[in-house]
Amino acid sequence: MSVQYRPVVPGIKRFKILVIKIIFIVLGRAFQSASQHDEEIKKEISSWRNGFTLLMKVMPDGPYMGLEKRDNMLEFKGSKLKKADLEIYFRNVESAFMIMTPQMGSHQAFAERRMSIKGDLNIATAFTRTLVIVMSTLYPEFIVKRLVKRVPPLTFKRFGLRIWLYTIGILLGR
Amino acid sequence: MLPSYYEFHNPVKIVSGNKALDNLPSEFETLGAKRPMVITDKGVSGAGLTKIFIDSFASSGMTIGAIFDDVPPDSSSEVVEKITSIFRQNKCDSLVALGGGSVIDTAKGVNILVTENSDDLLEFSGAEMLKKPMKPLVVIPTTSGTGSEVTVVAVISDVKRNLKMAFTSTHLLPDIALLDPRMTLTLPPKMTAATAMDAMSHAVEAYINLQKNPMSDAYAVAAIELIRKNVLKAVSDGNNSEVRLAMANASTMAGIAFSNSMVGVVHALGHAAGGICHIPHGVAMNIFLPFGLEYNMPKCRENIAKLLLPIAGADVYARTPEPRRAEQMIHYLIELRKALNDLCGLPINLKQAGVTEDHLPEIAQAAMNDPSLIMNPREMDVNDALVILKKAFE
Amino acid sequence: MEEIKGFSNKILEINLTDKSWSISEASIKDREMYIGGKGLGMKLLYDRLKPGVDPLGEDNILIIMPGVMTGTGAPCSGRFEAIAKSPLTGIIATASCGGPFGIQLKTAGYGGLVIRGKSAHRCVLWFDHETVEFLDASDLWGLDTAETQKLLLASSTVKNTKSNLLDSVKVESADSKKEAILAIGPAGENLVRFANIASGHRFLGRGGLGAVMGSKNLKAIVAKGSHYKIVPVDSELFERLKKKANLFIKREAVTISMGKVGTATNVKFVNKAKMLPVWNYSFGEHDQAFRISGEMIKEKHDTKLNTCKPCSIMCGHKGKFNGKDAPVPEYETLTLLGSNLGIFDRDAISRFNDICNRGGMDTISAGGTLAWVMEAVEKGLVPHDVFAYPDNSHQVASDGLQQSESDKSAQYPLMFGSPCGIEEALESITKAEGFGKEMGLGSRALSQKYGGKEFAIQVKGLEMAGYDPRGSYGLGLAYAVANRGACHLSASLMAFEVFLGLLKPDTARAKPQFVKFVEDLTCSINALQTCHFTMYAYTLEPMLTKYTPKFVLKNLMLWLPEVALALFDFSIYPAFFSAITGIKMSSGDFIKAGERIHVLERYMNTREGIRSKDDALPERMVMETIIGDDKKRIVPLKEMLKKYYKLRGYNSDGIPVAKLFEQLQIPSEPCSIA
C-alpha cells in the first residue's frame, strides 16, 4: 500500500483576522479623532511632513491600517495604503491579535520581535508614544497598566476625549 | 527570570589574539574573497596600523584591492559614495574596516551600495530595509568601545539633505570581527577611557533594559568584569597588550549584548548631547551612565544590584548587604569614573565636557525621539530628561 | 629680650582643683639622663603619677614638654610633647605635635608644664612668663578646635577679661603672635577616648589626651611666650650643625619627597608592597589607591606648604578640597578614613578629616573604630541599625516613581566602600550621641562588649596605623611592643623594610635588633624634640651609610645587624644637644638615654598591668593572610618577641628586670612629689 503525499494547505484564522480588522478600524478612527483633539498627539505629529504615511500591517499580507498626516491631523486610510513611509509590521496574525486585543504592550512586542519597523526610527519612537496615549484613552487604567511602562495621567480633558471617542470620534472620525 | 520569548542573533566570527591579523588572509579565503578593499582613516594610518595590516598580507598570494584612508570622524554619505566607486573601479570583492565607529559604519554603508548596486543610501535607511546577503566584511576595531564590529546598526549622515540616516539590518553584521591588541596599543589614554566607558554603557544598559535575555546577559556581565579588571591598567599602561586585548574583547562582548537587547536612556541622552553639543560619544556615555541607572532604579533595582558582582568583584558583592547592592553598584561606577578622571581627565559632568546650561532643554527634547527609549525600563518624558541632564550638568 | 642659655629647668606646676600654681626645678642630672621633651616629661610623670589612677579622674596628670631644641631655631624643632595616662589604653600615652604652643611655652621661660587636679568649672588656663590665670570657659564650651583658637587669639588681653571671654574686644591683638594655644574640641569635652588636642592646625594626636583635658574641665591653655630668647651655649658649633642638618635634609630622597608631596607619598610604596589597609585590613592593595597618593593630591588639589614652624623638611601641605582651603590629609588619615573603609574619594576623606580636626579627635582611632563597626555590622555582631541613616539621594521624577515605600523609610548601615553615613557617624562620636557614644570608647571596648576581638585592629587599646604589618614583619614586632599601643612611630621599621628597601620585610631575622635600636633612637629624638623624619636624613646621609653600597648594607643589616647598627651614624643629634646645653653627650650616651626613656615608660606600663600577653597583635595579623596574598604572609610574632625581650632585658613576662634598672640608672622607686 502506497502512502500518498499531498501538499498541506493550512486553514485561515478567520475569527482573529476579523477581530484585528475591527480593531484596526476602531483604532484608526480613534487616531484620526484624537489627533484633532489631544494636545500631546498634536505636538508629536506637528514635525512630520505633510503627506507622511504610516502603515500597520500584519505579515505577510494584511490586514492593514493606514494613516496619513494631512493638515495637522492623522487621516485614517483604512486598508487602502499598501506601502508607506513608516511601516509597522506584526510578524504574524497571532502576534497582531495579542497586541490588538490588547494583551501585550508595544514595547514588549518590540522586545519579543513580534513587531518590527521599517523606516525612520525617530518617527517610530514618536508614534509609539502617540499609540500609548490613544490606548490609554480608549481603555481603562487596569488594562492599560499592563501594557505600558507608564500610564499617562488621565486628565479631565483626556477623560472628555474618551467620552468623545466612544460617542462620536470612532463613529465619525472627528 | 527568563523572558517569555526572546531572540538572539550573532553570526559574527570572532578572531581574537596577539597577532591575530596574521590569520586574516586565510579567513578571506574561507569567505571566498580575493581582493579586499581596506577602509580606514588618517589617524589609523598615521599610527602605522595600516602598515601592520599590509604586512600581514605579505606572501599570502592575495591582493589588497584598494586602501581608502580618508574617512572623516563622522561618516557621511558622500564618502560612502566615493568609496563605492573606488570599490567598483578596482573590482574589489570584499571589505575590511580598520578603525573606530565611523570607519566601520562607513564600510557598512559601502557594503549596502555595492550589494544593492545603488547610489542612494537613503532608499535603504531605516529598519530591515535590506534583503540581500552582502559582500564579505571584516572589521578590525582600533578603539575598544563602539562594538560596531558585532552590531546590526550603521549611522551615516547625509550632509546635503541634512539627515542622519540609521540603518538596521541583520545583513549589516560583519562576517568577522578581528581583535588584535596591536591595533589598540596606540590609543591615547583619554580615548582609551572614553571608549571603555562606551563599552561599559553598552553592557550595563543591555543588562537592565526590557529586551534583555539570558544570552545578552552573559555577554554583558562578562564584558563588565573584563572592563573593571583592565580599564585602569589600559589607561595608565597603554603598552600592555594583554590588557588591550582584554579591553577589545570586553568591547566586542558588550557590543554583542546590546545588539541583541538594545540600549536605553543613557544612549538616548548621549546621542542627543552628541548631536547638539558634539560631545564625543564615549564621553557622553561616561557622563550619563550613573544618572541613567539611578533614574531607572525604581524599575530594575534587582538587575542593577546583580551588576555589583561584575563591577566590584565577588568579595565586595558578598560583603555588601543585599538591599544596598543596587546603590553600591552605582557608587562603584561613580568611583570608577572619578578614577578615570584622575588618570586622564575624562569629563564626569556636562560642564567639564563643555556643554552650557542653556542647551539642556534642547538636548532633552532631542532625546525624546531616540529609538533607544523604546527598550528602556522606565518611560522617560521631557521633564525627566531635563532632571537627569541637570544632575549630570555639575 | 632676656636670654635663656641652653635650657630652662623651670617646671610650671598647675593644680586645677584649687586653682593654684607653683614653679619647681628639674635636676640637671635628670636633664642629662632624660634630655627633655618626652624623656624628661616621662621622668616628671614617673615621680608624680601613682599607678592605677583613673585616667579621666582628678588624679591623672597631664604634662606638656618642649624639647631641648625647641625655640632655638634648629631645623625641624617646632615640636613639643604631651604625656599622661591614656583613657583609651589605660597606660601611658605620649604624643608629639608641631603646633606653635611648644615655642611659646619655652619662650615664656618654662622647661615643662604639669597639670594636675580637676577644675570645678569649665576653664581656660592662661600663663605668661610671670603669672598664671584661670579663666572662665563656659562660653567656649562646645566650640570646635578652630573656633576656640580663633576666639582666644582674637580676644585681646585675655587675662583682663576674666568674667567673660567672648565679650572682650575682638580685635587682632598685638599680643596674638606671642600667644599660642592648646585647645580641645567637643570630642575632648565629651570624653571621647581618642580625643586629641589642637595647637594651630596640628595635633597632639594619639592616646586620647584631649579627653584628659576634658575630664579636667580644661578647654584650652594659652601660653604667652616670646619673653625669652633661647640661645645655644656653643653657638658656633650650633650654626655648623644647622648647616649640616639642612644639607642632609636637602639631599636625602625621603625628606625631599616629604617636602614635595607630604606623608601621602607613602601610599604608592605601601600599595605596591601590598600592605595598604583596605576594608579593615582584609586586603592589602587596591587598584584605585593611586587616587589617594600624595602625587595625585599634589596634581589635583593645588597644594601649598602648610608646615610646623620652624621646619626644613616641610611635609605639611594644604590644598583645595570641596572648593575650600583645607589641610591635605596625612597618610594615616588617607588610609584609616579612606582605603581602610573602602573610600578613595579625596574630597570625602577631606570632609571626614575636617570633622575629626574640628571635633578634636584622632583620625587613626576614629577610622579604625569605624572600620570595626562596619565589619561587626557585616558579621551581625552589632545590629545593623545601631548606626543608620536614611537614604534620600534619589530624586523624584515626574512620574512620581521613587524607591518603593519600604525602601524610602529604610535605614542603611555603615558599610565598607560607601561614604554614606560616615560623616554622621563621626559627628555623633564627637557629640557622644547614640551609638556614637559607644564608638567613642574605641574598638577594643566595643569588641569587648559585642565580640569580634579578632578583627579589632588595635594593640593595647590603641588602633593600628595605616601599615599592615603582614607586609613588614619588623613593624609587626614594633606595633606589638610599642609602649603606647599599635604605634607606627615607636619604631618605624616599615621605612627601612619597605620605603628604603634596606631590610627584607618578610623575615623575622634581625628585626628584634632593629626594633630595639629604632625605639631607643626615636625616644631620644622625641626627648631632644625634633621631627621624627629627620631620622632618615641624619642617619642615611652621613658618609659611612651613604657610601656603603646598598647591597652590602642590606646584607649586613640582615645577617650582622649588630655590625650594621654600629655603622649607623646619628652623631648629629647628641652634637645638637651638646651645642645647645653645653653638656657633653656622646652617641652612646644619647642612645642610652633613649633606652632609659623607653624602659621607664615600659616599667610604668607594667605597673598598670601590662604583661607579655598584651604585647600581641590582632588575630588577623597573626592568623589570617591578606586576601589575595600569594605569599600567605602572617607576622611571626612569637619568634621575634622572645628575642626582643632578651635583647631588652625583660623577663619572659615582659617586665624589665632589676639589673636593667641598675644599668640604666633608673630609680626603681619614683621620688614622690605630691
Chain segment C22-66, per-residue pLDDT in tens: 999 999 999 999 999 999 999 999 999 999 999 999 999 999 999
Taking all residues of chain C, what is their mean pLDDT, rounded to a whole number? 90
Distance CA B272, CA B389 (A): 11
Q: Are residues C480 and C595 in the same domain?
A: yes
- Are B96 and B169 part of one and the same domain? yes
What torsion, rounded to 10 degrees, do the Cα atoms C585, C587, C589, C593 define? 110
Q: Are C331 and C267 in contact (CB under 8 A)?
A: yes
Report angle CA B215, B218, B222 to the nearest 5 degrees.
Answer: 150
Mean pLDDT computed over B364-373: 87
Q: Is residue B5 part of a domain?
A: no
Question: What's B133's domain CATH number?
Answer: 3.40.50.1970
Asked if residue B95 lies in contact with residue B135, where contact means CB atoms within 8 angstroms, the answer is yes
User: Are residues B132 and B212 both part of a single domain?
Assistant: no
Question: Which of C81-85, C161-165, C486-490, C567-571 comes out lowest in average pLDDT?
Answer: C161-165
Residue C501 in contact with residue C48, Cβ under 8 Å? no
Contacts of A108 in chain B (CB under 8 A): 210
CA distances from residue A60 to A56, A102, A121, B246, C576 in whole angstroms, order as listed: 12, 21, 21, 45, 100
- Which chain A residue lies closest to B163 (C-alpha atoms)? A120
Answer yes or no: is pLDDT of C184 > 60.
yes
In a domain, B17, yes or no: yes
d(CA A135, CA A102): 9
* SS3 of residue B364 by DSSP: helix
Q: How far apart are CA B78 and CA A118, in angstroms?
A: 24
Q: What is the pLDDT of residues C10-26, one digit of tens each?
A: 999 999 999 999 999 99
Assess contact for C187 and C440: CB atoms under 8 A: yes
Grid cell locating C598? 623607653
d(CA C511, CA C590): 21
> Which of the listed residues B132, B165, B182 is the one where a domain comes to its end?
B182
pLDDT of residue C45: 96
- The H or E element spanning position B290 is helix B281-306
State the nearest Cα–Cα gap between A86 and chain B, in angstroms.
9
Average pLDDT, chain B: 91
Considering the domain architecture, whether residues C475 and C560 belong to the same structural domain is answered as: yes
List chain B residues with CB under 8 Å of C401. 298-299, 378
Residue C160, Cα to own-chain centre: how many angstroms? 35
> CA C5 from chain center: how many Å?
30
pLDDT of residue C207: 94
CA B267 and chain centroid, separation: 11
Query: What is the DSSP code string of B21-86?
Result: GGGHHHHHHHHT-S-EEEEE-HHHHHTTHHHHHHHHTTTSS----EEE----SS-BHHHHHHHHHH
C256: in domain: no
Q: How is residue B354 annotated by DSSP?
A: T
Q: Where among C172, C199, C231 does a domain terminate? A: C231
User: How near does any CA of chain B get to the CA of A33, in Å?
Assistant: 23
Tell me, yes or no, whether C517 lies in a domain.
yes
Residues B139, B234: one domain?
A: no
Q: Is residue C296 part of a domain?
A: yes
Domain membership of residue C436 (yes or no) is: yes
Count structural domains, chain C.
3
B167 and B50 in a common domain:
yes
Q: In what order do the strands lie in the sheet with C10-15?
A: C20-25, C10-15, C112-116, C62-66, C80-85, C92-97
Q: How far apart are CA A121 and CA A108, in angstroms?
A: 17
**Rounded to an integer, what distance in angstroms lies between the CA atom of residue C88 and that of residue C444?**
9
Is the pLDDT at C176 greater than 70? The verdict is: no
**Residue pair C186/C174 in contact by the 8 Å Cβ criterion:** no
CB atoms B331 and C384 under 8 Å: no
* Structural domain boundaries enclosing C559: 469-617+635-664
pLDDT at residue B299 in the model: 87
Percent above pLDDT 90 for chain C: 77
**Considering only CA atoms, which of C197, C215, C216 is closest in space to residue C206?**
C197
Q: Is residue B83 part of a domain?
A: yes
Q: What are B278's three cell numbers?
A: 558634539
C399 pLDDT tier (thresholds 50, 70, 90) = low
Q: In the numeric block, which cell numbers belong to residue C602?
A: 615600659
Distance CA(C601)–CA(C579), nearest Å, equals 27
What is the reported pLDDT for A173? 67
Distance of alpha carbon C423 from alpha carbon C414, whole angstroms: 11
Q: Which residue's entry shows cell 481603562?
A: A140
Q: What is the CATH number for C448?
A: 1.10.569.10
Q: Does residue C302 share a domain with residue C169?
A: no
- Of C415, C438, C477, nearest to C637 (Cα)? C477
> B296 and B378 in contact (C-beta within 8 Å)?
yes
B243 and B176 fall within a common domain: no
Residues A110-121: what's their mean pLDDT? 82
Q: Predicted confidence band at A71 (pLDDT cuts at 50, 70, 90)?
A: confident
How far apart are alpha carbons C158 and C148 in whole angstroms?
13
Nearest CA in chain B to C300: B342
Look up the CATH number of the domain holding residue A132.
3.30.1050.10
In a domain, C360, yes or no: yes
pLDDT at C406 exceeding the cut of 70: no
Question: Is ipTM > 0.85 here?
Answer: yes
CB contact under 8 A, B211 and A111: yes
Give the end of a domain, one of B137, B160, B182: B182
Question: Does A92 contact B at CB distance below 8 Å?
Answer: no
What share of chain C in percent tops pLDDT 70? Answer: 93
Top residue of C298, C345, C399 to mutate, by most chain B CBs within 10 Å, is: C399
Q: Which chains touch B (3 or more CB pairs under 8 A)?
A: A, C
Q: Give residue-wise pLDDT tens across range B199-216.
A: 999 999 999 998 999 999
- pLDDT for position B145: 84
Using an 8 Å CB-CB cutoff, list chain C residues near B384.
Answer: 397-399
Q: Tell me whether residue C73 is in a domain.
A: yes
Average pLDDT over residues C2-15: 93
Is position C241 within any domain?
no
Do B319 and B171 belong to one domain? no
pLDDT at position C134: 94
Which distant-in-sequence residues (6+ apart) come within 8 Å of C148 by Cβ? C140, C181, C183, C184, C185, C198, C219, C220
C17 vs C118: CA distance, rounded Å: 5
pLDDT one-digit tens code per residue, C335-375: 999 999 999 999 999 999 999 999 999 999 999 999 999 99
User: Which amino acid is residue B308, in one-letter code?
Assistant: L
Whether C165 has a pLDDT exceeding 70, the answer reads no
Instruction: Say what the pLDDT of residue C404 is.
Output: 45
Give the residue, B128 or C245, on which the prediction is more confident.
C245
Per-residue pLDDT at B372: 86
C441 and C476: one domain? Answer: no
pLDDT value of residue C401: 59
The residue with greater pLDDT, A133 or C416, is C416
User: Given CB atoms, is B374 within the 8 Å cutoff of chain A?
Assistant: yes
3-state secondary structure of B217: helix
Interface subset of B 308-337, CB within 8 angstroms of C: 312, 315-316, 319-321, 323-324, 327-328, 331-332, 335
B242 touches chain C (CB under 8 A): no
| Beta-carbon separation of C417 and B332 below 8 A | yes
Q: Are residues C426 and C351 in the same domain?
A: yes
Interface test with B, best of C375, C398, C415 (most B CBs within 10 A): C398
Pair (B266, B281) in one structural domain? yes
Q: CA of C419: which chain B residue's CA is closest?
A: B331
Same domain, C313 and C439: yes
- The CA–CA distances, whole Å, from C566 to B271, C501, C548 equal 70, 19, 13
A6 found inside a domain = no
The contacts of residue C313 (CB under 8 Å, 6+ apart) are C75, C76, C249, C255, C258, C259, C307, C531, C533, C534, C537
Q: Does C402 reside within a domain?
A: no
Ranges of beta strands (E only) in C379-493 are: 388-390, 411-413, 458-459, 462-463
Instruction: Between C107 and C166, name the one with better pLDDT.
Output: C107
Q: Is C243 on the interface with B (CB under 8 A)?
A: no
Together in a domain, C653 and C505: yes
Chain B hits for A150, CB-CB cut-off 8 Å, are 378-379, 381
**In the predicted model, is pLDDT for residue C641 greater than 70?**
yes
Judge if B122 and B263 occupy the same domain: no
pLDDT digits (tens, 9 = 90+) for B232-277: 999 999 999 999 999 999 999 999 999 998 899 999 999 999 888 8
* Residues C54, C56, C59, C65, CA torsion sign: positive
- Flag whether residue B384 sits within 8 Å of chain C, measured between CB atoms: yes
- Report d(CA B361, CA B349) in Å as an integer: 16
pLDDT for C162 beyond 70: no
- Provide the 3-class DSSP secondary structure of residue C131: coil
- Inter-residue contact C12 to C112 (CB < 8 Å): yes
- Check residues C205 and C393 and name the one with the higher pLDDT: C205
DSSP state, residue A47: T
**What's the Rg (C-alpha) of chain C?**
24
Instruction: Answer yes or no: do C134 and C49 share one domain.
Output: yes
Identify the pLDDT of residue C326: 93
Q: What is the pLDDT of residue A101?
A: 82
Per-residue confidence band for C390, with pLDDT thresholds at 50, 70 and 90: low
Residue C163: pLDDT band with limits 50, 70, 90:
very low
**Boundary of a domain, candidates B147, B182, B217:** B182
Q: Does B299 touch chain A (CB under 8 A)?
A: yes
Q: Do C9 and C84 lie in a common domain?
A: yes
Which chains border A (3 or more CB–CB pairs < 8 Å)? Answer: B
Interval B19-32 mean pLDDT: 90
Residues B142, B254: one domain?
no
Report the alpha-carbon distance of residue C663 to residue C657 in Å, rounded. Answer: 10
Domain with B75 in it: 13-182
Kindly state the helix (H) or strand (E) to which residue C10 belongs, with its residue range. Answer: strand C10-15
Shared domain for C179 and C313, answered yes or no, is no
Does B2 reside within a domain?
Answer: no
Quickly list H helices, C67-111: 101-107
C204: its cell numbers: 597632639
| Cβ of residue B6 closer than 8 Å to a chain A Cβ | yes
Rounded Cα distance between C547 and C561, Å, is 18
Contact between residue C471 and residue C628 where contact means Cβ atoms under 8 Å apart: no
Shared-domain flag, residues B280 and B131? no
pLDDT digits (tens, 9 = 90+) for C66-103: 999 999 999 999 899 999 999 999 999 999 999 999 99
Asked if residue B159 is part of any domain, the answer here is yes
Give per-residue pLDDT as tens, B344-361: 999 999 999 998 999 999
Q: Counting Cβ atoms within 10 Å, is residue B46 exposed (0-12), middle (13-18) or buried (19+)? A: exposed
* pLDDT > 70? residue B134: yes
Which positions 118-147 of A are in contact with B (Cβ < 8 Å)? Answer: 118-126, 128, 132
Q: Is C446 in the same domain as C473?
A: no
Residue A100 contacts residue A110 (beta carbons within 8 Å)? no
Provide the domain limits for residue A162: 14-172
Is residue C172 pLDDT above 50, yes or no?
no
Number of domains observed in the structure of chain A? 1
Q: How many structural domains comprise chain B?
A: 2
d(CA C512, CA C520): 12
Neighbouring-strand partners of residue A78: A66
B351 touches chain C (CB under 8 A): no
